[in-house]
Each structure stands twice: as structure tokens, then as C-alpha cells.
Structure 1
Amino acid sequence: MNGGGQPEVPGLRPGTGLEQVGARLRAVTDANERLQGLLEAVLAISRELDLSVVLRRIVTTAMELVGARYGALGVLHESGEHLKEFITAGLTEDERAALSGVEFPHGRGVLGHLIHHPEPLRLLDIPSHPASAGFPPGHPRMRTLLGVAISVRGEIYGDLYLSEREDGRPFDRGDEDIVVALAGAAGIAIENARLFAQVRDSAETFQRLLLPTVSDLGPFAAAAVYRPAAEPNRLGGDWYDALVLPDDSVGVMIGDVGGHDLRAAAAMAQARSMLRALFYDRRTPPSGVLTQLDRTLHATADIPVTTACLARVEPGESGWVLRWSSAGHLPPLLIGPELETEYLYAEPGLPLGVSTGEPRPDHTRELPPGSVLLFFTDGLVEHPAHPIDEGLAALAGLAVAHTSLPLPELVQALADRHPGDGRDDMAVLALRVPLGPPA
């Protein structure tokens, strides 16, 4: 105890005030909280796989870490001389409106300085910097700046810009250190997102190559479209096919293999190839072809449960007739010449891969001249927030609204405006019945 009667605290000099002790403790606490925030931010950014989401997340995270009002990320052009993309955050609606029509900065002035001198840059007054070129009309007033380069594989990818701390103070060395650390993690996240995009695009291209281009089915018009799921893992098992059969009838098939991975895509290709061969070779009704396919797959392959619909459109006594059989698949939609719609509900049968001993029924329906048959997979209409009937009703309304379009535009419109939630891949095939009778 000293002469004043106060106890001595180890590590503190006599006369040190409690205010200083509290300030030091608060500084330690703030540093720990900032470090924890940085770790959480790195984890959050690393979870994202979509590049556009990663870039925006980098900006908003940096703003949160240092309490900045404005943030931006400029992505460098491949030449490294100017910016090709500029992502902003923090602007109010009024501020964005004031900048409408103003081109985004391409890397002149202070931004250009950071491009050519990628060391961290802290400014107390932007306009006073020698490289400053001023702000365009309508730009919010900005005084302070913290700029940090982001590199990917040793090359500068872009620059992260922050301006105006919410507390009005200038950016300090602690802000710079934490944003530099974030930029290092951001470079890794950007590279991961780019690699994932390459793999995803390659997988999607592979799957599209497995699906056929609908050939000339004259006198019928036909078109089809496939859309991958919006989920990061885009591979799926939806497929379609259409061909002219040896008796001059037209065969149509559509199906959905369970799963969203390479196994589903491989199983889809296997099932579609077998079905096409069986359908073309055999003169049996669609139910017989599905039965033989189920037995063949059961004996020779290990594929997930698969739904399918197999149909023949053939000449009848007075017009065209549809004969079809379903293996647990959604019914086709018939759109009549007067824009009346009807789902061809019938006994759906069991999906493939469930039981080979159950009989599969066939169904028959005369088709009005000029009508359109729509075959589709469940990804087009399923939404977890709505019953399937709502999705089917919405699809019928969309189909009526676009039936006058050429079939390639019709299927594209349905895939674009689908009632489903987009979390599953989808396939759509449309067939327009000739106006005249069979030759």
C-alpha cells in the first residue's frame, strides 16, 4: 500500500488513473471484438460460391468491420489499366437517383492511383490528393478514403474502397490492418467462386450435350428446352426426347431421374438411351416399352427412382390420336385450338425402379387439329410454399398466354416465367398438332 492509502496494482505505475485502466481494457475488448468480427466475416465470405454475391459481400463486410458509410469494389479489366466493373454499397435511393445516367468510374483520379500503386491508401481529404480528379455531378460528398488492393494468385484483381466512417473520424491504422486482412481472404473467396463457376459451367455443358436437339418431326412442329437448377450444384436428371418412329408416328418421352449430382446425370443418359432404342425398335404400346425398360434397368443398372412419360402420336380414323403411358410422371397439358386447357389425368403407374411386377396402363385421346401438347418435369411447377395444383393452374395460364408464339419461343417463355421455385432443374417439350388430317 502506498502512502496515500491506495492499494498497489501489479503492472501499474503509482498515480495511474482508473480512467486509463478502463480505456486500456476497452481497447483490448474492442480489438478482440474486431478480430472476432473479422473471423466471422472471412467465414461468411468463404461460404459463398456465386461470384457476384462474393463481390458484394466483400464490400458490405468491409463497411461493417470499420463502420464505413460508403463502400465500393472496382474490378480491374484484364489489361490492368482501368476498371471494368464497379460495385457500390451504402448509397441511399436519393443518392443513386442523383447519379442516374452517370457512368461508373473507370479508374481515373485517386482510383487510378490505387490501380497503379496498389499499396494501402488512407486519405484525410480526397480532393487535396495530387491525383484527385474531383467527383461527377450528383456524387455524395466524400472526404476520407481507405483503399486496399485485392489480389488473386498474385495478380491484382481489383481495389476495395471505403469512405466516411459513421462516427466522423478518419480511418486509422487499425482500420487499414483489418481491411488488408479481409482483402487477403477475399482473394481466396474470389478464386474459389471463379473455379466453382468453371466446374459448374463445364458440368452444365456436359449435361446439355447429353440431351438431344429436337429434330424435324414433320408434319408436327416441336421444340424443347432444359434449364438447370438455380442451386449451386446444377447437375440434375431431367431429360426429354422426340423422334419419328418407323411407322411414321411420332414418339415423345420425358423423364426425371431422382437426385442432383453426376450419378443422376449419368443415370439420365443411360435411361434415355435405352428408352429411345426400345421405343424405336419395338412395335408395342407405350406401356409395353416402359415395362421392358423397367425390367432392363432393374437387371443391368443401378439407377435412382425415375419418373417418365412415354407417348405416341399416330394417325387415327379422322385425325391424330395420342397414346401414352406414365411411370409416376405429371400429366401432359393439352391446349386446344380455342385456348381451352386440359391436363390429361390418368392412372400414372409406378415410377421406374420401384417394382417390375405391376401392370402399366395405356391411355388414348384424340387430338384436335392445331392443338398443342405440353410435356414437362416437376421443376417447372413445384414450389414448397404452394400446393402442386396451384403450380399446374399457373402453368396452364402461362401456356394459354403464349400459345400463339412459335414453339421455341413458347417453351423459352414457360421456362423463364415458371411457377416453380427454381431449385430444381426443368425440362419442357411442346408438340403442335397439324391442322390437316394425316396423309
Structure 2
Amino acid sequence: MTRRRPSHAVSADDLLSTLGRLTAQAREGAELQQARVELAVALQRKMLPAALPAVPGLRVAARYVPARDGLDIGGDWYDGFPLSDGTLGYSIGDVQGHDVDAAAFMGQIRIGLRAVANTATDPGEVLRRANDLLLSMDSALFATCSFVCFDPVAWELRTARAGHVAAVWATDDGRYGFAEDEGGLPLGIQPGESYPVTRHRLTRAGAYVLLTDGVIEGPTFPLDQGLDQVARLVREGADAEPGELAAEVLKVAELTGHSDDAAVLVLRHDAAPPP
């Protein structure tokens, strides 16, 4: 039996042409993705504050890094600004998602928090109003957040959490722990959610460190293990400058696999002055 050659045999030129076309499409797709990543990175960094407020006896620093692979970007933020009652407000949070939309939504949350904090300085009330504001925007995204007020007269922190990871604290006499204060649901999920406020009197010098879960959690790195690593660093560096401590804490993200962007906010405080 004689085998007939197919009438449409694929030539080497056809294969090379097809391969070239597929390669061009793949390159175009990669360049488009890279452009989206660069846009998200630029948007994220432009929205983060250039400086954070402080007073004598309180030094503040923050650090942010995108994910190691450069694709998960845009959701984490930190901020700080003076409030109308003379206290200082600080926030840190994480928007669901890692893209340009998440970066834009993060900017809206930061603006929303600043807006409501002009009329409500209680941290729980700030989060409650911000939650209602985000729900009114009818967005499919939500965000975890911690909001902290530093009172330079009472020398205390008033804190509220919206589904966010616990802060880590340490004093220069070696004590440390996790501020697992009672909190509420993340912002943008349920109308009418309330956010309890916890007071922390700063009787000893030390550090209060807020962070996002990108610092302490990864594909094969449990959150509890990451928190323990951060607690050790904060305990050992409770008397360090806030910028140095923030940089050291951010290194924990390298242990997790760094699959998410990460942010750290350090409040380095002196002991409460005598009455």
C-alpha cells in the first residue's frame, strides 16, 4: 500500500512562522503585564505619605516593599496625620486584591479615613464611619485596617482594629507581646459594624509595631511563626531607632516567600512623663 502525503503538509517555514507569531503574542502579553505592574507600583508609592507626624518623645517610621515576584502589588498602605483634638492618628491596612484596582481603592480608603477623622477622633468611630463610607461606594473590594491615636497629654495609644493582624509591642526592660485587642470585621463588608477601642498607657519606653500580613505570612510560612519572628526582633530592638527597627522587621517577609506586598509602621515612644 502506498502512503499518500497529506495535501497540507506543514513545512519548516510554516512552523517557524507560527512560532514567531506565538512568541510575539507572549512577549506582548508579558510587556502588558509588566506595564500594569509598573503602573501599580508607581500608583502605590505616590499615594504613600512622604512624612509621618511625631512629637518629642515619639518617633515614627514606616517601610513598604512590593512582593518579590513583582506581581502582587497595590493593596497595603500606612498613613499618619494630626487630628483636630491635638492627638496624632496612624493607620495601616491591606486591601483585598493585588492589582491597579487595589492600589486605587487603597488611595480611596486613605482619603476616606482622613476625611472622617476630621470630625471623629475616636478610633472606633473613625473605622465605623469609614466602613459606612466604603459600603456607600458599592465596591466589590474590602480592606483590613488598624487605626491608632497617640495622645501626647495622657501619653497613651487608643487603638481599633477592622479584621487586621495584631500589633507587636515591646518595652526596653525586655517585656513584649501581641496587641490582640478586640476588633470588628474588615471595612466594606457589613453595614453598621462597630469597632471597640482599647487604651494602652505607655508607662515604659518601648516600641509599638503595626504591620500587614505580607510581612509574616507566606505560602509555606504560618502566620503565628511570622509573628513570633517579629516579636523577637521588636524585643531585641525596642530601644533602636524606628527606621532601623522597621527595616529589620520587614526582613521577615523574606522568610515567608514574600508572595504579598508588605508594610511596617513603628511608633518608638519614651516612658510617660511624670504628672
Establish whether TM, by shorter chain, passes 0.5: yes
Q: Which one of the candidate residues 250, 259, 263 is aligned to 1:415?
A: 250
Aligned to 2:209: 374
Q: Offset of 1:247 from its aligned partner?
A: 2.6
Contact 1:239/1:268 (8 A) holds in 2: yes
Q: 1:190 to 1:350 in 2, by over 3 A?
A: closer
2:135 counterpart of 1:290: no
What is the letter of the counterpart of residue 212 of structure 1?
Answer: P
CA distance in 2 between partners of 1:244 and 1:208 (Å)? 21
What is the letter of the counterpart of residue 259 of structure 2?
Answer: R
Greater Rg by CA: 1
Aligned to 2:261: 425
Aligned to 1:241: 79
Contact 1:287/1:360 (8 A) holds in 2: yes
Task: Write the deviation string for residues 417-439 of structure 1: whole angstroms up to 9, x where unpaired.
Answer: 32433111111100111346289
Q: Offset of 1:183 from its aligned partner?
A: 9.8
Aligned to 1:105: none
User: What are structure 2's unaligned runs of at least 5 residues?
Assistant: 4-11
Contact 1:331/1:345 (8 A) holds in 2: yes
Task: Write the deviation string for residues 398-417 of structure 1: whole angstroms up to 9, x where unpaired.
Answer: 22344444222221222233
Contact 1:321/1:366 (8 A) holds in 2: yes
CA distance in 2 between partners of 1:268 and 1:337 (Å)? 34
Contact 1:214/1:224 (8 A) holds in 2: no
Aligned to 1:226: 64
SS at match of 1:200: helix
Aligned to 1:270: 108
Q: Offset of 1:390 from its aligned partner?
A: 1.4
Q: Offset of 1:271 from its aligned partner?
A: 0.8
CA distance in 2 between partners of 1:375 and 1:360 (Å)? 17
Task: Write the deviation string for residues 4-28 of structure 1: whole angstroms up to 9, x where unpaired.
Answer: xxxxx869xxxxxxxxxxxxxxxxx
Q: Which one of the candidate residues 297, 300, 305 is aligned to 2:142?
A: 305
Q: Offset of 1:328 from its aligned partner?
A: 0.8
Structure 1 runs, 4 residues or longer, greater than 6 Å off: 181-192
CA distance in 2 between partners of 1:191 and 1:261 (Å)? 19
Q: Offset of 1:363 from its aligned partner?
A: 0.9
SS at match of 1:226: strand
Aligned to 1:351: 186
Aligned to 1:389: 224
Identity, in percent, stands at 33
Aligned length: 262
Q: Note the aligned Cα RMSD (angstroms).
A: 2.9
Q: 1:434 to 1:322 in 2, by over 3 A?
A: same
User: What are structure 1's unaligned runs of at least 5 residues?
Assistant: 1-8, 12-34, 40-177
Contact 1:368/1:433 (8 A) holds in 2: no
CA distance in 2 between partners of 1:267 and 1:385 (Å)? 28
CA distance in 2 between partners of 1:204 and 1:185 (Å)? 28
Q: Offset of 1:379 from its aligned partner?
A: 0.7
Q: 1:316 to 1:196 in 2, by over 3 A?
A: same
Alignment of 1:193-212 (within 5 A): 196-212=33-49
What is the letter of the counterpart of residue 131 of structure 2?
Answer: D
